[in-house]
Amino acid sequence: MLARIRARYDRTPEAERDARQAVAERLAGHRRGTIPQRIDLDSAGLLALFVDKAQSVDATVDRVAADRDVPGAVARYLRGLNLPAEAAIAPHADLDAMPWAASALSLERRRAQGSDRVGIARAFAGIAETGTLMMASGPDSPATLNFLPETHVVVIRESDIVGGYEDAWQRLRERGRGTGRDLPRTVNLITGTSRTGDIEQIIQKGVHGPKRLHIVLVRDGA
């Protein structure tokens, strides 16, 4: 089939060389297109943009001072919505280090199951441009936590916030360097909650994915 496609071009040997070179060059690089001016901000500005954009797509954002405040913040959030104080939580080192025991939340460190009502995950990055979360799959970051539970709680640090998607891809590639695998199996860019307009073009939330997206944003350095 490839041969048939190649035949459409009918390239001369010279043109074929040029074409291969052009392709090789492009694939070796990470050339960016036009980057929206709206992310031309300092880190404080990007933080504010991220929060604003996330809230505009119906995510809720809770800012806490330090890692040790996260479990309490999550427990408060669930209580406030009359949700059960139990969740599946990603087996992530950053989350492990937080004092969950004191929060009276009943947690299981695993992937999500169909019956889970709450999933707690650790984002890889936050993209200020559109208030988007970048979730990267891995042994400590099961992707099902992002989709099966009705309520999705995502923990992210202020230092994880970048301006645009390209910045996030760069960070992801840098993390993967030397591991033999540049990128994780699944990268989810999550912007708001699950939604549909399939019945009479009226927007409804929580179709298959989470109905609620709650972001716990931790100030770094503590």
d(CA 59, CA 47): 15
Q: Is 13 a residue that touches other proteins (CB under 8 A)?
A: no
Q: How far is the CB of 148 from other proteins (least distance, A)?
A: 7
Q: By CB under 8 A, name the one of 12, 93, 101, 185 that touches other proteins.
A: 185
Residues 159, 196 contacting (CB under 8 angstroms) = no
Q: Is 29 a residue that touches other proteins (CB under 8 A)?
A: yes
Alpha carbons within 13 A on the beta-carbon side of 208: 2
**Sign of the C-alpha dihedral computed for residues 95, 58, 48 and 80 taken in this order:** negative
Residue 53 vs 122, nearer CB to other proteins? 53
**Sign of the C-alpha dihedral computed for residues 47, 49, 54 and 58 taken in this order:** positive
Q: Is 5 a residue that touches other proteins (CB under 8 A)?
A: yes
Q: Is 81 a residue that touches other proteins (CB under 8 A)?
A: no
Give, in degrees to the nearest 5, the angle at Cα 189 between 131 and 55.
25
Q: How far is the CB of 15 from other proteins (least distance, A)?
A: 10
What mask, x for binding other proteins by CB under 8 A, covers residues 115 to 144?
---------------x-x----xxx--xxx
Name the segment binding other proteins (CB under 8 A); options: 71-79, 100-108, 117-125, 145-153: 145-153
